[in-house]
Structure 1
């Protein structure tokens, strides 16, 4: 399945708090490449770190998920870059769980520069979407996510 980037801004305000998370970070020298802007792989690292922070906030980190008997593994990432981030920029990374259905979950991410003087909504740097597949932590085979995962992430009885 080929993923397309969702409109994360529309989704953000419509989703329950359990399905979204954000953090703000500052671009440091180690994030830069030889062109003196944030390397494209760093954006993906920031997305994954934000997803992990989201799961941790809900007590659904790796250990808790392993105990429940299913772990998410990335199947596909789609990233669109709009503008570079530079040393010292403040970057807001938002993630929202947009789909949770059986074997699959999808997260959308929006990365915005939020420096003083920027518009209140920030300046869009990149958008990402990741399709996650749930697997059994022992066998590695695909497995439906436990109902507790859906409940904790604000999907209620949806599966």
Structure 2
């Protein structure tokens, strides 16, 4: 069952830069399975990687979050696969923090192929993923609300100003 939230690309342009991040990569032999396409588990690794890079970019990597007393742990991953990625494909992995409510946050991801023969900017959708994260105390493992600094750093404490407002 897919979580009922918008996909990353639906919200991408409307989100503050602190709520979104993307990475480009090229499919290598280490990503392939015996069917000569990217193994399903690799998509999840790519999603986790872009999420970590996003947090690090904002100074909210694991050690910083531990110091603040709350770290996210995955509760649910939902991945919809559309097309396989193949050796040499250029791939864009995007993540957008779409929801934050008390103990949980939700990230949406899109994975698109951006080869020279694909439509410019849009590419070809390979997969979409959503992860529900629950915030926990890193010492006790018990659920805990994300600290205000985390909420602010990831752009949930700030409302985007609309033109003319």
What TM-score, normalized by structure 1, do the two folds share? 0.96
Q: Deviations over 1:78-121 (max 9, x none)?
A: 00000000000000000000011110000000000001121021
Residue matched to 2:94: 94
For 2:89 and 2:5, the matched residues in 1 are separated by: 24
Residue matched to 2:133: 132
Residue matched to 1:143: 144
Gaps of 5+ in 1: none
- Asked whether the 8 Å contact 1:19–1:96 carries over to 2, the reply is yes
* Map 1:95-110 → 2, pairs under 5 A: 95-110=95-110
Residue matched to 1:80: 80
- Asked whether the 8 Å contact 2:5–2:98 carries over to 1, the reply is no
* Map 1:1-150 → 2, pairs under 5 A: 3-4=3-4, 6-120=6-120, 121-150=122-151
Q: Deviations over 1:52-88 (max 9, x none)?
A: 0000000000000000000000000000000000000
Instruction: Point out 4+ residue stretches in structure 1 off by more than 6 angstroms.
Output: none
CA RMSD of aligned residues (A): 1.4
What is the total number of aligned residue pairs between the two structures? 158
Gaps of 5+ in 2: 160-165
